[in-house]
Structure 1
């Protein structure tokens, strides 16, 4: 028998958009608007995203709302619209929309277009590490790049460079590009070289000892596609690695912002995009994970009460994979 839904729950709240501190407090459990396709989810695990405490200031929500972080969720449906394909008791995961409060709370809201059935062979913690990173990688490669879909065969023979290949998104770009048939080159620090190789990269560039611009001077090193996950100097140097007519896609900033003044290449299609939660894409990821073809990588697991330490680890930039909050700990 399902446990009754309480009136109050724990929640991490950012008091205002001007400051990045968080407080752990109690607030009322949200009431889903079933006419709008909303489901109430009992949260088991969540994943924060680097820099997200700056979003309310830099990208204010279109409507005023509680500033609750963490939009990656793995949990159990406890209330659903009658027309929904998800029923009470279904185990799901999602990247929820920034327009609504996030999921750093015991109960959160998800809609049909975001939710997917979570991989059955993973823990809640492992599942929460997947939605944002995997969908961003999927959309960068198979939607926004213009090369072709996952099963199109268009990636065979393509050379793909992934910057920050050991980070949350880079891990998935590396795996998915390899599965699609591409030859993958990844950049990372020396401590993560073995990991990036294990994910499918045929060459791993240690950015601390190898300058990407210098690496790309040899014509045979040039790549068809760069998926940049870190921006700034790394993205600037990546311009030199793209073939004429190639694609330079960044999830961090518009590539033109850091295009070198002395760059003389032509025909490069530069793209910047922000992912949109997509149920169909996430269900495809679920299949690949359940088939053992892809995996999530978890850096560390924290109880909600240790949010300050967890966000410090996240902001350090040295996490290998995803930071996860397990809401069953210390509860």
Structure 2
């Protein structure tokens, strides 16, 4: 925010008025940043050197800071609209108490905002930040910690000492270094090669004492040997971090900006080509620095937007170059489904890319797949209606991966995404897939690609079975809680605020309880119908993930609320008996002995809004993926065989990529 005073002089304004216009420019720039998807913005608002200016100007800047920050933090104002939290970076001990109180108020008001961050350097210089970081790092390495005897940090000195010890082990006892002689030399302040000393010798001679001044600007703490007791308990208690283990990460975590992501773009106004003591530590070899010939109050959309768009375009181009699309890909494919695709899947190292992979249509996204997650629907379609697929066919709907190219404005190259494709294209067991606009959403920050891949069909199905029909306080019964869909249903119902009862086999009872189920019934030792009828519960919603027989529905009037109660199912084994039972449920009127409660059959409809809600719950820790096994791409047939066994606890995933993509900084 440099050039406010010069702007005021040029336009014959009061200096304070120039700073006021500077704050207005800041609001404009922040709005552009947040609309453009920039997550972290750091501004140089007040330098420690500015205290050398007149008291009138300094007081004016301080008063303006405390009013403007609080104003922008109010409900409905800039920070609230874009979900931006405020962080103050700098030596706050130099700030007036009344100003600090209001600044801290702005920080507190925005504390729960989690969409973006505004770092306000106030008062700040980069040299002071680096000095402070070094001072605090030295203090950390000068502070004794407890260490169990025999454990020592890894360092070059210790490696050399251990190598030396091995060499000495072959030497005769009389030729070994005299321990007493070395300790005597240490007592007289003479140097001894640490490689000639054992761990015990070092422990006995390296107990240190910290001497430090009380002032924040004093020299670094000094270390000296402790006199007196060198007992075993004292040696175990007094341990100092090895200086050879010091890395730049130690310094980085003591900077004001930690844990902000690396600095991507630094914009300097006022027509000068220097950083002016700002972000010196944070700049790195990949930071793009832009010097603009305009004063800060003049810095607006016309100067900033081209700079931002050019940088974003360059980043996307570089990311696209890093994710070059080959002419072929690895894929697990089947040509014949006789006997089941689990017996026919083969790894094809030179499979053709999916249709439109190199010429995307509107609304499509090309994704490099990290993980695929098989579902029963994948093998049921292939085993029962194989004629709908082009051969060779690449199965699997659910995926997670990284965007290679997208025709959707909200998805960027290099962004991590998850979702599902649509049959008959499927294709998630190939390294590349083309996805429609409904089935591709960003992976939340704290969710892994492996977990995200599990959401696809089952997460969406669970959401659409629970959320439209249940509300906080409702009683929900889930038949089959330990499978892929059931594990998601339990957690989503609990996220909504329902009381959940579920069924599973004995070995999976603890799993269902850990997911939040209030009551768990072992269906192998308990008659479910009798249990429900005698339980006295008046359920609001029953979800049958199995639907082995329609008996649970025919008797639903005994335990499902009248009028508002609903019976939902999602499954069934394709067979003549299932079709007959299903048709009876649908068409047999209640007056003739048919079902007496509302019946709903749910098939997952791809909905990015529903995916976003599930992703939010996963990021908050309310919903998690339960993964039983992970398979490599060449073992995809084994993944399907395990899935078809019907004994899966949660989900199985297939690692498609040879190297898992990482989240862009």
TM-score (norm 2): 0.45
Q: CA deviation at 1:123?
A: 2.3
TM-score (norm 1): 0.87
* Residue of 339, 350, 353 corresponding to 1:29: 353
- Which residue, out of 602, 605, 610, partners 1:281? 610
* 1:285 shift after superposition: 0.9
Return 5+ residue gaps in structure 2 as ranges.
1-317, 573-578, 661-665
Q: 1:96 aligns with which of 412, 421, 440?
A: 421
Higher relative contact order (CA 8 A, sep 6+): 1
The answer on 1:223 being equivalent to 2:535 is: no
Secondary structure in 1 aligned to 2:490?
helix
Report the counterpart of residue 217 of structure 2 in structure 1.
none
Q: Which runs of 5+ in 1 are unaligned?
A: 148-154
| CA contact 1:301–1:324 (8 Å) conserved in 2 | yes
Q: Give, in angstroms, the shift of residue 126 of structure 1.
A: 1.5
The alpha-carbon deviation at position 267 of structure 1 amounts to 3.5
Alignment partner of 1:237 out of 538, 552, 573 = 552
Determine the structure 2 residue equivalent to 1:70: 396
Name the SS for the 1:92 alignment partner. Answer: strand
Larger helix proportion of the pair: 2
Which protein is bigger by CA-based radius of gyration? 2
Residue of structure 2 equivalent to 1:174: 490
Q: Distance between the aligned counterparts of 1:161 and 1:61, measured in 2? A: 38
Q: What does residue 67 of structure 2 align with?
A: none
Let me know the Cα RMSD of the aligned residues. 2.6
**Any idea what SS the aligned residue of 1:67 has?**
coil
- More displaced 10-residue stretch of structure 1: 49-58 or 114-123: 49-58
Q: Are the equivalent residues in 1 in contact too, given 2:400–2:453 (CA < 8 A)?
A: yes
Distance 2:626 2:438 in 1: 25
Of 287, 305, 313 in structure 1, the residue corresponding to residue 634 of structure 2 is 305
Structure 1 residue 119, shift from structure 2 partner: 2.5
- Count residues in correspondence: 319
Q: Helix, strand or coil: the match of 1:194?
A: helix
Instruction: Identify the structure with the greater strand proportion.
Output: 1
Note the 1:122-271 alignment, pairs <5 A: 122-143=447-468, 145=469, 147=470, 155-218=471-534, 220-233=536-549, 235-240=550-555, 241-245=559-563, 246-253=565-572, 256-257=582-583, 267-271=596-600
Secondary structure in structure 1 of the residue aligned to 2:414: coil
The answer to whether the 8 Å contact 1:164/1:187 transfers is yes
| Structure 1 residue ranges (4+ consecutive) displaced by more than 3 angstroms after TM superposition | 16-19, 56-66, 253-259, 261-267, 328-331
Deviation at 1:329, TM superposition (A): 5.1
- The answer to whether the 8 A contact 1:305-1:330 is kept is no
The CA deviation at 1:60 is 6.2
Distance 1:18 1:205 in 2: 38
Distance 1:258 1:119, change over 3 A: farther
Counterpart position of 1:151 = none
- Tell me by how many angstroms 1:210 deviates: 0.7
1:140-172 deviation line (CA, Å, top 9, x unaligned): 1223x4x5xxxxxxx233111111111111111
